[in-house]
């Protein structure tokens, strides 16, 4: 039985492709799309073989009325000019509608949980955000008589916590999301991505992966230079160090639902097209669900070498090369035992 399951797991991985998971926490622009958003649309048009999950985030969620946020992120305040009850304003409705016109782009709505923090959000608050995303539909945009289709096709849950103390709340939230979105029926594409930011605990991994379509098991920086994005301590990304329970799931059978996100792909160490391609190849060989590399912070898609255009090109290349992905072998004995125990649990 164990052998049969392992074989199935390997067979599944042999077909896995690694798609793009883009946290596009940037302003959309107005009648003219912003440079950051336009780069994503261009990359999607240039790489129809790649699926782009694109996280939409006006201001830490769909309906934050606390006033304009930092940087490019806007608010969706009812007192704002051109406010739209479901869709923020015409800048957002116009440009989310444009993303939806690209067949290989799938919009995901951002919600955050702050689990494990003192300002942890209540289930009710998070459900309000989920409901709001589900209500984005057809809204007026700039300069067009046609309404803009701003429908959202999944939820990105941020800051979900790593331990099973939160299991009940998150099962409730993910069930709620599938229910209000009429997932997989009216909605077409619908996926739930959970971002604990690092590996969920071994005894929570299976439960968390079961409630999601994808789980971020490593979110970190490439550069070893400390910045706002990755306060110390953190482990700078290098695919060679990714192993079961450390960047990849404890259970290798779950690699096809795992996501890695790498920010600040700049020097040091060397950040070039060559090192980027090497890292993307290594990442694709893990058989992961999706991944993202950026040379900037969350909001940046245009900085070289890890611009969204280059990243899409290199993932496409690596997906084409890798007929049989070869995940890093599990290193520690404890981790291998955990993996077998999981398989036994399944059987």
Ligand X SMILES: *[C@@H]1O[C@H](CO)[C@@H](O)[C@H](O)[C@H]1NC(C)=O
Which positions lie near ligand X, rule CB under 6 A?
35, 49, 59-61, 64, 66, 69, 73, 100, 115-116, 138, 149, 151, 161-163, 165-166, 188, 238, 240, 269, 273, 296-297, 300, 302-303, 305, 310, 313, 316-317, 320
Q: Which is nearer to ligand X, 107 or 252 (CB)?
A: 107
Q: Which is nearer to ligand X, 196 or 338 (CB)?
A: 196
Minimum distance between the CB of residue 143 and ligand X, rounded to whole angstroms? 19
Tokens of 77: 């305040």
Minimum distance between the CB of residue 336 and ligand X, rounded to whole angstroms? 20
Minimum distance between the CB of residue 199 and ligand X, rounded to whole angstroms? 12
Q: Which is nearer to ligand X, 252 or 297 (CB)?
A: 297
Minimum distance between the CB of residue 320 and ligand X, rounded to whole angstroms? 4
How many residues are given for the chain?
347
Q: Contact, 206 vs 253, CB < 8 A?
A: no
Q: Contact, 106 vs 54, CB < 8 A?
A: yes
Q: Which is nearer to ligand X, 253 or 286 (CB)?
A: 286
Q: Distance between CA 82 and CA 76 in Å, rounded?
A: 10
Minimum distance between the CB of residue 326 and ligand X, rounded to whole angstroms? 15
Q: Which of 51, 22, 19 is nearest to 39 (CA)?
A: 22
Q: Which of 260, 263, 236 is nearest to 248 (CA)?
A: 260
Q: Which of 312, 264, 322 is nearest to 290 (CA)?
A: 312
Tokens 């490593």 belong to 218
Q: Which is nearer to ligand X, 219 or 343 (CB)?
A: 219
Minimum distance between the CB of residue 342 and ligand X, rounded to whole angstroms? 21
Q: Contact, 280 vs 318, CB < 8 A?
A: yes
Q: Which is nearer to ligand X, 182 or 273 (CB)?
A: 273
Minimum distance between the CB of residue 7 and ligand X, rounded to whole angstroms? 27
Q: Which is nearer to ligand X, 150 or 214 (CB)?
A: 150
Distances (CA, A) of 70 to 34, 56, 75: 17, 16, 10
Q: Which is nearer to ligand X, 191 or 253 (CB)?
A: 191
Q: Which helix (H) or strand (E) holds 230?
A: none
Q: Which is nearer to ligand X, 78 or 188 (CB)?
A: 188
Q: Which of 16, 214, 213, 189 is nearest to 103 (CA)?
A: 189
Tokens of 254: 């779950």
Taking CB atoms, the residue at the shortest distance from ligand X is 116
Minimum distance between the CB of residue 51 and ligand X, rounded to whole angstroms? 13
Does residue 238 come out as left (phi exceeding 0), alpha (psi in the -120 to 50 range) or beta? Answer: beta
Q: Burial level of 263, CB count in 10 A (0-12/13-18/19+)?
A: buried
Minimum distance between the CB of residue 149 and ligand X, rounded to whole angstroms? 4
Q: Distance between CA 8 and CA 13 in Å, rounded?
A: 9
């Amino acid at each position: 039985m164990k052998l049969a399951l392992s074989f199935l797991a390997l067979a599944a991985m042999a077909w896995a492709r690694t798609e793009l998971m883009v946290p596009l926490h940037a302003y959309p622009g107005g009648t003219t799309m912003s440079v950051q958003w336009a780069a994503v649309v261009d990359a999607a048009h240039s790489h129809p073989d790649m699926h782009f999950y694109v996280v939409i985030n006006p201001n830490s969620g769909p309906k934050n009325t606390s006033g304009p946020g930092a940087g490019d992120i806007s608010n969706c305040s009812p007192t704002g000019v051109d406010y739209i009850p479901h869709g923020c304003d015409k800048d957002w409705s116009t440009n989310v509608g444009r993303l939806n016109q690209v067949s290989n782009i799938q919009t995901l709505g951002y919600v955050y949980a702050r689990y494990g923090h003192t300002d942890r959000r209540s289930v009710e608050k998070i459900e309000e955000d989920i409901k709001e995303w589900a209500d984005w539909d057809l809204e007026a945009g700039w300069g067009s008589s046609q309404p803009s289709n701003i429908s959202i096709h999944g939820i990105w849950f941020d800051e979900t916590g790593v331990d099973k103390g939160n299991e009940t709340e998150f099962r409730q939230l993910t069930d709620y999301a599938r229910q209000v979105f009429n997932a997989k029926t009216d909605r077409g594409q619908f996926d739930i991505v959970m971002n604990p930011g690092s590996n969920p605990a071994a005894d929570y991994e299976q439960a968390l992966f079961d409630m999601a379509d994808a789980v971020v098991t490593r979110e970190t920086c490439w550069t070893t230079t400390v910045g706002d994005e990755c306060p110390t301590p953190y482990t700078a990304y290098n695919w060679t160090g990714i192993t079961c329970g450390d960047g990849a799931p404890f259970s290798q059978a779950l690699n096809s639902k795992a996501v890695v996100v790498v920010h600040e792909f700049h020097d040091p160490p060397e950040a070039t097209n060559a090192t980027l391609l090497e890292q993307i190849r290594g990442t694709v060989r893990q058989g992961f669900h999706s991944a993202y590399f950026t040379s900037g912070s969350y909001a940046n898609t245009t900085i070289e070498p890890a611009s969204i255009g280059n990243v899409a090109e290199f993932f496409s290349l690596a997906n084409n090369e890798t007929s049989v992905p070869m995940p890093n072998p599990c290193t520690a004995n404890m981790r291998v035992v955990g993996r077998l125990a999981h398989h036994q649990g399944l059987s």
